[in-house]
Amino acid sequence: MPAGAVTEPTRNSAPDGSVMQIDEPRFLGSRLRGETVLTDVAGNDFRVADLLGKPVILLLSYYGCDGTCPTMNAELAKVLAQVNRFALGKDYRVLTVSFDARDTPTTANTFLAKTGPVPEAMRGGWRHAVVKTGDVKGFAGEVGFNFFWSDAARAFLHPNVLVFLTPEGRVARYIYGTRMDARTVELALVDADWERISSTTAVFDQLTGACFSYNYAEGRYQWNLSLLAGVGSFILGVSLMLLGAGLYRRKMARKLQGEMHA
C-alpha cells in the first residue's frame, strides 16, 4: 500500500477476547521478513533487515490511540532508562510500528507529541515507523499479533505486548505490558541474544540464563527451582563425601600415631 493511503479498518461490533491472546508456541522462533520496507517519522525509508544484527524490541501500536498504546510507549521509555547493563542503540534496538494502515509519518509525529518525545539518550536506537510496502496485517501476523476494530469501543482491540527478536529477526520472547520491568527486559534480551550483547558479561549472562526460566502460564521469569535443587543436591552430596573422606583420614592418622607410640 502506498504511504499515506487511507483505508477503513475492519469493523466489528462484538469484542473478541481471543484477539488478546498470542499463540506463543506457534510463533516463537518465527522470522520477521527482512525485506519489508518501513517509513520513520522523518519520512526515511528503511528495511526491517537494516535493524537486525542486534536484538530488537518490537512494539506494535497504532498512532490514533489515546489509551494503552501511548501508555505502553511511555512506560517502555521509563523501564529502558533503568536498564543499565545494556545500552540502547549499541547493544539492542527498539522499533515501534503502527498496525493501522491509515497511519502515516505525520500521525506518528502527532503520536510522539502526545506521548512525549523519545528521550535524547534513546533516539539513536528507537524508531517509530509505519509499514510502507506489504500488508500491515500480514506484518503484524508474522509475530502472531492480531487486532480488530470495535465500533462499540471506537478503538482497536489488540494485545499489549513487547516482542523480543533475535539478531536474525526471530521471535525469542513475548513480554506483556502489565509485567514490564527492567529486570524482565534484561533477561529477555539475554534470551534474545545469549552472549553477543556484551562479551564482558557473557559468563554472568550464562549464569542468569541458567538460573532463571520463563513461566509461560504467568508470563514472567522465575528462579529455575529444579535446576537449583539439582545443583544444591549435587553440592551437598560432594560436600558429604569430602567430609566423610576427611573424617576417615583423621581417624586413620590417629590410629597410626597410636600404634607408633605403643
Q: What is the pLDDT of residues 69-126, one digit of tens each?
A: 999 999 999 999 999 989 999 999 999 999 999 999 999 999 998 888 788 888 889 9
The amino acid occupying position 176 is Y
The pLDDT value recorded for residue 195 is 42
Q: What average pLDDT does the segment 176-197 reach?
A: 80
pLDDT of residue 115: 82
The rounded distance, in Å, linking the Cα atoms of 77 and 105 is: 20
Q: Is the pLDDT of residue 205 over 60?
A: no
Backbone angles phi, psi at 107, to 5 degrees: -70, -30
b/e for 30-59, b at 16 or more Cβ within 10 A?
eebeeebbbbbbeeeebebeebbebbbbbb
Taking Cα atoms as reference points, which of 40, 76, 1, 35 lies closest to residue 169? 35
Instruction: List the 93-98 sheet strands across, edge first.
Output: 45-47, 37-40, 126-131, 93-98, 56-61, 161-165, 171-176
Tell me which fold the domain 11-223 belongs to.
Glutaredoxin (3.40.30)
Predicted local distance difference test score (pLDDT) of residue 6? 39
The residue ranking higher by pLDDT, 220 or 32, is 32
Which residues, other chains included, contact 89 with Cβ-Cβ below 8 Å and sequence gap of 6+? 122, 124, 125, 126
Q: State the pLDDT at residue 209.
A: 43
Please indicate, yes or no, whether the overall pTM of this predicted structure exceeds 0.85: no
Question: Which residue is listed with cell 499479533?
Answer: 145
- pLDDT value of position 177: 82
Sequence-ordered strand ranges (E) for 62-119: 93-98
* pLDDT tops 70 at residue 219: no
Tell me the CA distances in angstroms from 211 to 12, 181, 185, one per residue in order. Answer: 45, 18, 16
CA-based nearest residue to 16, from 219, 174, 159, 176: 159
Q: Nearest CA to 59 among 1, 127, 107?
A: 127
Burial 112-146 (b: 16+ CB within 10 A, else e): beebeebeeebeebbbbbbbbebebeebbebbbbb
**Which segment of 28-32, 51-55, 171-175, 211-215 scores lowest on mean pLDDT?**
211-215
